[in-house]
Structure 1
Amino acid sequence: MRKGLLPGMAALLGLPVIIFGLQRYDVSQFFTAMADPPALMQGCMDVPEAVALAETLRDRALRIERYMEALDVRKADLATAEQTLRERLAELKSHKTDTQTRRDTHTSEVRTDIDRLVAVYDQMKPTEAAAILTNLPADFAAEILMRVQPENGARIIAAVEPRQAALLTAQMGARSIRTR
């Protein structure tokens, strides 16, 4: 049991040293160097175990070198994909900003148009405004009545036929409930 303890401790203590050493050097160059037949093998070509070990090490070094090359290709592919994604993200953000600006402009224009229309109805005589509003769709007429001055709105509703006035009032109440 004590015989296995000493080599285990040596391996445990030596492993960080080996890892540190490998980190300081380019590992691919180490394995590339091993892929070439070493000069030490010149006198050992008649020992089959040494030749087999050298071939195994060379094969492993070549596999590791190919793996490292594949990793480099993958890194390049990932960098390209990341750059493409960044460009697409910037494009989408720009498109979002443009869309929001257009939407805000459109909303502002619609509000300006509605304000002008309301101002026109505010200036009209209640009987004339009532005659026009009864021919408009009920929800649109209710929207106009909600925005005119309250005194003018009351006069306009008073000038509308009672059945139509009830419908407009119901639409105005429904609009108030929807906006809450």
Structure 2
Amino acid sequence: MKATQKGRSPRGILAFVVAMLLLSGSLRLGSIGIAVASSTTDVDPKLGNVEAVSECVTDAETHELMELLKARSEQISALEAEQEKRQIELANAEATILENLSRVEEAETRLSQTIQRVDGASSKDVNKLTSVYESMKPKDAALLFEQMSPDFAAGFLAQMSPSAAAGILSGLTSEKAYTVSVVLAGRNANAPKQ
């Protein structure tokens, strides 16, 4: 009550104390801000200007961990680039293989058609020649067959009618007729029986 008698109310004193605390706090914050600002700038003595420090100071373990992560990230990037390069090379190789396979299939088709034409022409020629030999006199045809190899002669005789083949065989020497007969008999010796 004495304080109220001197003209100061408790509320006034309290307001004064709060005002002083706020003023003190703001002065402290201001001086901290100035200290922080002065600690985050460097002065380049050669240039005479002020530059802001761009890196935060971290402890050694954090810095080491960051370096390891950066190195690992670079390794992963290099591996990914290598993987992508290999995938491109594999795709190109696959395309080349498919192209070559297509060429081989086309060549195989053309070869098959050529073989069929040749076989067809060859069969026609053999059939025609067989007909010529069948229509010849057996004695004249035997003179030609005497000059042929036994395998070749047996091929023609196998396609002839039995009577024409018998006439030609009878005109051959006994040795040649026997050899051709053995070739004819042995042509199907290795064929499966069942």
CA shift for structure 1 position 149: 1.2
- Residues 1:164 and 1:73: Cα distance change in structure 2 (over 3 Å): closer
Indicate yes or no: 2:106 matched with 1:94.
Answer: yes
Q: Given the alignment of the two structures, is residue 117 of structure 1 paired with residue 99 of structure 2, yes or no? A: no
CA distance in 2, matches of 1:70, 1:48: 33
After superposition, residues 150-169 of structure 1 pair within 5 angstroms as 150-169=162-181
Which whole-Å deviations, capped at 9, do the CAs of 1:36-64 have from their partners, x for residues lacking one? xxxxxx78524222222222222211221
Larger RCO of the pair (alpha carbons < 8 Å, separation 6+) = 1
From 169, 173, 176, the counterpart of 2:185: 173
CA distance in 2 between counterparts of 1:102 and 1:171 reads 30
Q: Which residue of 1 aligns with 2:62?
A: 50
Indicate the residue corresponding to 1:7 in structure 2.
none
CA distance in 2 between counterparts of 1:46 and 1:162 reads 113
Return the structure number with greater helix share. Answer: 1
The answer on whether the counterparts of 1:121 and 1:129 sit within 8 Å (CA) in structure 2 is yes
- TM-score w.r.t. the length of structure 2 is 0.64
- What is the deviation of 1:146? 1.3
Moved over 3 A (4+): none
Q: Give the SS at the match of 1:177.
A: coil
Q: CA RMSD in A?
A: 2.0
Distance 2:184 2:105 in 1: 39
Aligned partner of 2:150 in structure 1 is 138
Q: Secondary structure at the match of 1:176?
A: coil
Structure 1 residues 135 and 45: alpha-carbon distance in aligned structure 2, compared to 1, 3 A threshold: same
Structure 1 residues 45, 174: CA separation in 2 closer, same or farther (over 3 Å shift)? same
Structure 2 residue runs of 5 or longer lacking an equivalent are 1-53
Once the two structures are superposed, what CA deviation does each residue of 1:99-150 show, in whole Å capped at 9, x if it has no partner? 2222222111111111011000111111111122112222211211111111
Change beyond 3 A, Cα 1:141–1:178: farther
Shift of 1:159: 2.6
- Deviation larger for 100-109 or 157-166: 157-166
